Amino acid sequence: MKNTFRKGRVAAACLTLLSVSALSACGGGDDDKKVEAVEKIGKTEGKVSILAWPGYVEDGSNDPEVDWVTPFEKETGCEVTSKSYGTSDEAFNLAKSGEYDVIAASGDLSLRLVASKEAQAINTDLVPNYENVYDFLKNTEWNTVDGKNYGVPHGYGANLLMFNKKNFAEPPTSWGAVFDKAQLEKNKGKVTAYDSPIYIADAALYLMKTQPELKIENPYALDQKQLDASVALLKEQRKYVGEYWSDYLKEIQAFETGDSVVGTTWQVIKNNIKNPDVDVTLPTEGATAWNDTWMLSSQAKNPNCAYKWMDYILSPEANAQATEYFGEAPNSPEACEQTTDPKHCETFHAGDQEYAEQLWFWRTPVKECLDGRTDVECTDYAQWTEAWTEIKG
Amino acid sequence: MSATSADTRPGRTTDPALRGPVARPGSRLLHRMVWLRLSLLLSAPLAWMLLVYVVALAALLITSLWSVDSLTSEIDRSWTFDNFRTLVDNEVYRTVTLRTLGVAVAVTVIDVAIALPIAFYMAKVATPRVRRMLVVAVLTPLWASYLVKVFSWRVVLSEGGLADWTGFGSPGYGLTAVVITQAYIWLPYVILPIFASLERVPDSLLEAAGDLGAPSGLVLRSIVLPLLVPGIVAGAIFSFSLTMGDYITVNIVGGANQMLGNLVYINAGAANNLPLAAAIAMIPIVVMLVLLTAIRRTGALDNL
């Protein structure tokens, strides 16, 4: 009895001490950030930590059949730990922690990482498989800054227009299907849209083609007047929207049951819909899209294994597996030959430069206009988010 | 417990006079100073409460008075009421607050209306066997994942889903769907406190009322209901506050609508604007504080 009491008291005292020390243990300094590219790869560290979209780093724990991490570990002796994220903003906060060596970033994240000195320049000579990558994916504005490469391309895909053929006399060829009042009227309450402020760019892209007097050059560089016009268009669209989606399983179900009949989508979603009436198209106006880059953290503790990973995931075998699993275009013609579905690259228009040129890859809107205008201040992502809240109402 | 019981243990009986002062000055100190003993005992749970509740709330309040630098997306730690000004000036926040309150009230009213007869049957009419089974039946849904239940409702309410077959037709995704789903999900939290307080109503009171010739309606109104108020209030607080903070249900079955939780989520997640998210999060907290104060005034909390 006595002993228990004494133990309890000791435990209580320990807990008190613990909570006090937890309070005072906050803080810690910034490590030195290395932003310059390295000259050569040193000895591998035996481990690497990766931050990526779900489905990019599969080690067989989700599906024993899907595993391209184990071969890498065997080949290089670098043990992989990985974390997946849901939005680019979440990834930005995680990357800043410095816990991750390699980060798979979309275009709306990569430049933020460079600007905040979280990314390290890449010496592409140390990534032999970089050579295979389609040329139009190299040295782009979302992976290269001031002539320095800050990442190697992974794959890309477009935000397409999906529709149910039963609700359209003729298959739609324009985003007017979700923005034009007369066309919206027919599908009132069954229109869907992507639930993110970045969707404002879709409206801006439509205005860019239909209202030239607004002078929109780049859907991610909108001044206040152009943003207002896009917001007005989306507020009009809101009256016809049945629901917004960000969870792709939700959109699959809505199109299968017919709760949604027209709206923006990803190819991987279309591939998962069994309803034969549902089809997708790349509208004549082009589309917004995502293009992912493997980046190296400026706080990387395992840069050598990180380089090994970047080279490995760019290799035709691994890239084919990863992009096919996720449902996007691979980054090289060699990878296209390795896909299990021989038509995969055809489905996703891999290497089709003409197709890719119609795509506006996601960027983060910033005050300094991305289209090079200097006479006006553009609206930034915080303003877009505020606008998005208002649009949904 | 006593000193002798410890001293009789083998190996400890050598010399009590010598051992005593060496081994237990701490014990004797604590024995003498009640205040010290109490504070040592309580400091850990109190520190925990302080950290988890008070500090978190204070951090929320402080954060809501900061702002975000849009260029670096770093938090600017100078005091400003801008976030609250945005909340007041911008009509959308008022609309969303009112919508959230409306949904929370509707869910609470529906849940109480359903829970009262069920709880009454469980506590006063059912045999002990049936009562046990009903308690299990009420509790079982709590074992299933929240997401599974909401997605099930999404399927039920979808076009050509179960709701369509019944002949009533589905309300479609929207606020009605949110109210239905939330009312279903929080129902056990309303039934249980009402059931518990009904169990405490002595049967003798009901029998006495019956003996004196009161019709059952009068018995319910003038005897059972007043005794039930604490249970109903507890259940209503649960369903109201849980609905106020929810953002997943409305995402899945709410169509294009948004509630306060969604605004917090998009500002914390997508916009990386934690100060504004914190300011929005203050709205339900203030609503709940006002509500609890009002309820306390009526004395309903005294008997919880």
pLDDT in tens, A170-188: 999 999 999 999 999 999 9
Nearest-CB residue to A87 (from B40, B71, B269):
B269
Tell me: do B252 and B171 sit in the same domain.
yes
- The nearest alpha carbon in chain A to B161 belongs to A257
What's A50's DSSP letter?
E
Q: What is the mean pLDDT of residues B58-77?
A: 82
At residue B43, does pLDDT exceed 80? Answer: yes
Percent of chain A whose predicted confidence (pLDDT) is above 70: 92
**Gap between the Cα atoms of A36 and A252, Å rounded:** 44
A238 contact residues in B (CB cutoff 8 A): 256
Of B7, B30, B53, which residue sits at a domain end? B53
* Angstrom distances, CA of residue B83 to CA of A231, B59, B68, B89, B222: 22, 15, 10, 10, 48
- The ipTM is 0.74
- Please answer yes or no on whether A12 and B173 come within 8 Å at the CB atom: no
pLDDT in tens, A85-137: 877 777 888 888 889 999 999 888 888 888 888 899 999 999 999 998 998 88
Report the residue of B2, B73, B252 to disrupt the A interface, i.e. the one with the largest count of A CBs within 10 Å: B73
- Please answer yes or no on whether A90 and B269 come within 8 Å at the CB atom: yes
At residue A160, does pLDDT exceed 80? Answer: yes
Tell me: do B116 and B240 sit in the same domain.
yes
Work out the minimum CA distance from A323 to partner chain B, whole angstroms: 25
Tell me: do B225 and B298 sit in the same domain.
yes
Find, among A66, A73, A112, the residue nearest to A89 by Cα.
A112
- Please answer yes or no on whether B6 and A2 come within 8 Å at the CB atom: yes
Tell me: do B279 and B135 sit in the same domain.
yes
Tell me: do B129 and B190 sit in the same domain.
yes
**How crowded is residue A52: how many other Cβ atoms within 10 Å of its Cβ?**
23
A123 domain residue, yes or no: yes
Average pLDDT, chain A: 86
Phi, psi of A161 (to 5 degrees): -100, 120
Q: Which domain holds residue B42?
A: 17-53
**Gap between the Cα atoms of B255 and A239, Å rounded:** 12
**Gap between the Cα atoms of A81 and A94, Å rounded:** 14
Q: Is the separation of the CB atoms in A295 and A35 below 8 Å?
A: no
Q: Which domain holds residue A223?
A: 174-282+364-392
Tell me: do A265 and A374 sit in the same domain.
yes
At residue A269, does pLDDT exceed 90? Answer: no
- For the ranges A21-30, A187-196, B178-187, B245-254, the lowest mean pLDDT is seen at A21-30
- Please answer yes or no on whether A87 and B273 come within 8 Å at the CB atom: no
At residue A20, does pLDDT exceed 70? Answer: no
- Please answer yes or no on whether B155 and A253 come within 8 Å at the CB atom: yes
Find, among B116, B114, B103, the residue nearest to B231 by Cα.
B116
End-to-end CA distance of chain B: 36
Q: What six digits make up the tokens of B286?
A: 């203030």
- Please answer yes or no on whether A197 and B43 come within 8 Å at the CB atom: no
Tell me: do A278 and A294 sit in the same domain.
no
Query: Averaging pLDDT over each range in A200-209, A323-332, B70-79, B271-280, which range is the top one?
Result: A200-209
- The nearest alpha carbon in chain B to A250 belongs to B252
Label residue A347 by pLDDT band (50, 70, 90).
confident
- Specify the pLDDT at position A18: 42
Q: What six digits make up the tokens of A321?
A: 């597996």
| Beta pairing, strands A241-245 & A278-281 | unpaired
Tell me: do A268 and A369 sit in the same domain.
yes
pLDDT in tens, A272-302: 888 999 999 989 999 998 889 999 999 999 9
Label residue A27 by pLDDT band (50, 70, 90).
very low
Q: What is the mean pLDDT of residues A1-11?
A: 43
Tell me: do A302 and A275 sit in the same domain.
no
Its pTM stands at 0.77
The domain total for chain A is 2
Work out the minimum CA distance from A1 to partner chain B, whole angstroms: 6
Q: Is the separation of the CB atoms in B198 and B206 below 8 Å?
A: no
A118 contact residues in B (CB cutoff 8 A): none
- Please answer yes or no on whether A89 and B272 come within 8 Å at the CB atom: yes
Tell me: do A212 and A297 sit in the same domain.
no
Q: What six digits make up the tokens of A328?
A: 């996007």
- Specify the pLDDT at position B17: 52
A367 contact residues in B (CB cutoff 8 A): 70-71
Q: What six digits make up the tokens of A325?
A: 């699993």
- Please answer yes or no on whether B41 and A9 come within 8 Å at the CB atom: yes
Number of H helices, E strands in chain B: 17, 2
Label residue B15 by pLDDT band (50, 70, 90).
low
Q: What six digits make up the tokens of A198?
A: 């970045």
Work out the minimum CA distance from A5 to partner chain B, whole angstroms: 10
Tell me: do B96 and B192 sit in the same domain.
yes
> Taking the alpha carbons of B133, B139, B143, B146 in that order, is the dihedral positive or negative?
positive
Q: What is the mean pLDDT of residues A68-80?
A: 93
Which SS3 state, helix, strand or coil, does residue B188 take? helix
Phi, psi of A83 (to 5 degrees): -135, 140
Tell me: do B130 and B193 sit in the same domain.
yes
Find, among A156, A104, A215, the residue nearest to A349 by Cα.
A156
Tell me: do B33 and B112 sit in the same domain.
no
B47 domain residue, yes or no: yes
Tell me: do B137 and B282 sit in the same domain.
yes
- Please answer yes or no on whether B273 and A382 come within 8 Å at the CB atom: yes
- Specify the pLDDT at position B243: 95
pLDDT in tens, B166-225: 877 788 899 999 999 999 999 999 999 999 999 988 889 988 998 999 998 898 888 888
Tell me: do A113 and A257 sit in the same domain.
no
At residue A366, does pLDDT exceed 80? Answer: yes
B224 domain residue, yes or no: yes
Find, among A240, A182, A176, the residue nearest to A209 by Cα.
A176
Label residue A330 by pLDDT band (50, 70, 90).
very high
- Specify the pLDDT at position B128: 93
Tell me: do B105 and B184 sit in the same domain.
yes
- Please answer yes or no on whether B159 and A259 come within 8 Å at the CB atom: yes
**What CATH code is carried by the domain that includes residue A217?**
3.40.190.10
**Gap between the Cα atoms of A393 and B98, Å rounded:** 12
The domain total for chain B is 2
Q: What is the mean pLDDT of residues A374-381?
A: 90
Please tell me which residue, A248 or A225, carries the higher pLDDT value: A225
At residue A198, does pLDDT exceed 90? Answer: no
A380 contact residues in B (CB cutoff 8 A): 70-71
- Please answer yes or no on whether A382 and B254 come within 8 Å at the CB atom: no
- For the ranges A171-175, A342-346, B132-136, B232-236, the lowest mean pLDDT is seen at A342-346
Tell me: do A220 and A274 sit in the same domain.
yes
Average pLDDT, chain B: 86
At residue B9, does pLDDT exceed 70? Answer: no
At residue A28, does pLDDT exceed 70? Answer: no
**What CATH code is carried by the domain that includes residue B240?**
1.10.3720.10
Tell me: do A376 and A230 sit in the same domain.
yes
B73 contact residues in A (CB cutoff 8 A): 92, 112, 116
A26 contact residues in B (CB cutoff 8 A): none
At residue B102, does pLDDT exceed 80? Answer: yes
- For the ranges A26-35, A178-187, B147-156, B262-271, the lowest mean pLDDT is seen at A26-35
pLDDT in tens, A133-153: 998 889 988 888 888 999 999
- Specify the pLDDT at position B21: 53
> Taking the alpha carbons of A90, A92, A93, A99 in that order, is the dihedral positive or negative?
positive
**Gap between the Cα atoms of B268 and B275, Å rounded:** 8
Q: What is the mean pLDDT of residues B77-86?
A: 89
Q: Is the separation of the CB atoms in B247 and B164 below 8 Å?
A: no
A88 domain residue, yes or no: yes
Tell me: do B109 and B30 sit in the same domain.
no
At residue A14, does pLDDT exceed 50? Answer: no
- The nearest alpha carbon in chain A to B98 belongs to A393
